[in-house]
């Protein structure tokens, strides 16, 4: 049989094939187990050694050429089909999806929003700082001395790069450095909150290496502990939706506040679940105090004229308490089923 005739036939058929199916049947017809070109190869066995060489080479060349052409033709057809489809179909990206297909709002995002709303209503504006901080802002300016345990490698992520004071940069261990940034760059009165990501080398069901805090800072000429307590009590009542929330302030120690306190809210266990707001057990919610005059001076402000209060609380922790969630890691493992069950409806935006 004439190889070039078979190839010519195959190529002209290929030219006419305009979809995947017809290309596939052409491939089978010529190159399949019982295909015409395969038959030619099979017929080699009856030829003399000399003919085998010559004929074999030409059949192989024909086979290769056909395969190559089939592949390029099939790519071209696919491209053409896709382009045709694209030119016919258009998607209106402004068309709202059905409610059932909307995603869910992550509980932390919801808390973020609520915290900003509640403090916003009290006149606090939002300040921000970077996740990668200088040693000065994260520790020194906040009156955390060189040998303070918070600086030790086991609870702080240090970077290799060093800042202009030749200290390694750190992933901020709290949102408190935003206090420093704000006091360095703004004149009092200052009234800000700073929500954001924070980092420590810690990981179990209640600690995550990346977590969230919100910092609060108020600086003016006459702020006092009463103002601080009033605002924090109002915040907790609002956030947990409990009007007669039972709270207490316990003396504590933070290098950047003097005096310092921790705020606890009362709880009891009812039917194996935490009931917030009443009872004789106490849960620590946040740290706070009057800004240490040393910190005010470190920020080049006159501590004989200005005073203020600060507070810091864990957003993940208050979210877990509010929604009865027990494992902080579930916030960050990206499990969509978990989010479907524990996230919040977005509604129409
Ligand atoms: N930065 C503290 C921490 O991460 C929390 C804190 C306590 C912040 C007292 C404050 C404060 O501003 O006054 O543990």
CA of residue 6 to ligand 1 center, whole Å: 84
Concatenated DSSP letters of 143-184: T--TT-GGGSGGG--EEEEE-TTS-EEEE-SSSTHHHHHHHH
The SS3 assignment for 105 reads: strand
**Measured distance CA(10)–CA(28) in Å, rounded:** 11
Pocket perturbation via mutation, ligand 1, pick of 150, 171, 176 by most ligand atoms within 8 A of CB? 176
C-alpha 63/C-alpha 57 separation (Å) is 10
Amino acid 65: pLDDT: 94
Say if domain 107-125+189-345 classifies as CATH 3.30.930.10.
yes
Tens of pLDDT, residues 282-340 = 999 999 999 999 999 999 999 999 999 999 999 999 999 999 898 999 999 999 999 99
Separation of 328 CA from ligand 1 center, angstroms? 20
Atom 12, ligand 1: residue with shortest CA distance: 311
pLDDT in tens, 14-64: 999 989 899 999 999 999 999 999 998 888 888 888 888 889 999 999 999
Q: Which atom of ligand 1 is nearest to the CA of 142?
A: 1
The predicted pLDDT at position 349 comes to: 43
Kindly state if the Cβ of 317 falls inside 6 Å of ligand 1. no
pLDDT in tens, 81-91: 899 988 888 88
Q: Could you tell me which residue, 3 or 129, shows the higher pLDDT?
A: 129
Residue 348 has pLDDT above 60, yes or no: no
Among 176, 272, 286, smallest CA distance to 229 is for 286
% of the chain beyond a pLDDT of 70 = 98
The residue ranges of every structural domain in the chain are 3-88, 107-125+189-345
Banded model confidence at residue 262, pLDDT cuts 50, 70, 90: very high
256 near 217, Cβ under 8 Å? no
Ligand 1 centroid–CA 223 distance in Å is: 18
Residue located nearest, by CA, to atom 8 of ligand 1: 312
In angstroms, rounded to a whole number, what is the distance separating the alpha carbons of residues 124 and 167? Answer: 33
Nearest CA, atom 2, ligand 1:
312
User: What's the 268 CA to ligand 1 centre distance in angstroms?
Assistant: 26
Residues composing the chain: 349
Pocket test for ligand 1, best of 178, 260, 312 (most atoms within 8 A of CB): 312
100-109, 172-181, 195-204, 221-230: which range is least confident on average?
Answer: 100-109
């Amino acid at each position: 049989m004439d190889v070039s005739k078979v190839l010519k036939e195959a190529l002209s058929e290929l030219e006419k094939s305009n979809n995947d199916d017809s290309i596939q049947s052409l491939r089978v017809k010529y190159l399949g187990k019982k295909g015409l070109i395969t038959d030619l190869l099979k017929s080699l066995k009856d030829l003399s050694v000399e003919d085998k060489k010559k004929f074999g080479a030409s059949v192989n060349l024909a086979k290769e050429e056909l395969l190559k052409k089939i592949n390029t033709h099939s790519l071209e057809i696919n491209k053409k089909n896709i382009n045709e489809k694209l030119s016919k179909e258009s998607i209106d990206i402004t068309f709202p999806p059905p409610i059932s297909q909307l995603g869910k709002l992550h509980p932390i995002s919801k808390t973020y929003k609520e915290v900003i709303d509640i403090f916003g209503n009290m006149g606090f504006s939002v300040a921000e700082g970077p996740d990668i901080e200088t040693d000065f802002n994260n520790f020194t300016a906040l009156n955390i001395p060189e040998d303070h345990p918070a600086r030790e490698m086991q609870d702080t992520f240090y970077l290799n790069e060093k800042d202009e004071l030749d200290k390694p940069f750190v992933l901020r261990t709290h949102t408190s450095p935003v206090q420093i940034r704000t006091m360095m760059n703004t004149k009092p009165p200052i009234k800000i909150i700073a929500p954001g990501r924070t980092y420590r080398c810690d990981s179990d069901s209640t600690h995550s290496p990346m977590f969230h805090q919100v910092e609060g800072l108020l600086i003016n000429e006459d702020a006092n502990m009463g103002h601080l307590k009033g605002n924090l009590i109002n915040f907790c009542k609002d956030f947990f939706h409990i009007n007669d929330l039972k709270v207490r302030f316990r003396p504590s120690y933070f290098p950047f506040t003097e005096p310092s306190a921790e705020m606890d809210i009362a709880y009891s266990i009812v039917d194996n679940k935490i009931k917030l707001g009443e009872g004789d057990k106490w849960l620590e919610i946040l740290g706070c105090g009057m800004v240490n005059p040393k910190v005010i001076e470190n920020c080049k402000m006159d501590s004989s004229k200005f005073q203020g209060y600060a507070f810091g609380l864990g957003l993940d922790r208050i979210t877990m308490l509010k929604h009865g969630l027990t494992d902080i890691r579930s916030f960050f493992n990206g499990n969509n089923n978990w989010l479907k069950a524990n996230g919040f409806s977005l509604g129409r935006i």
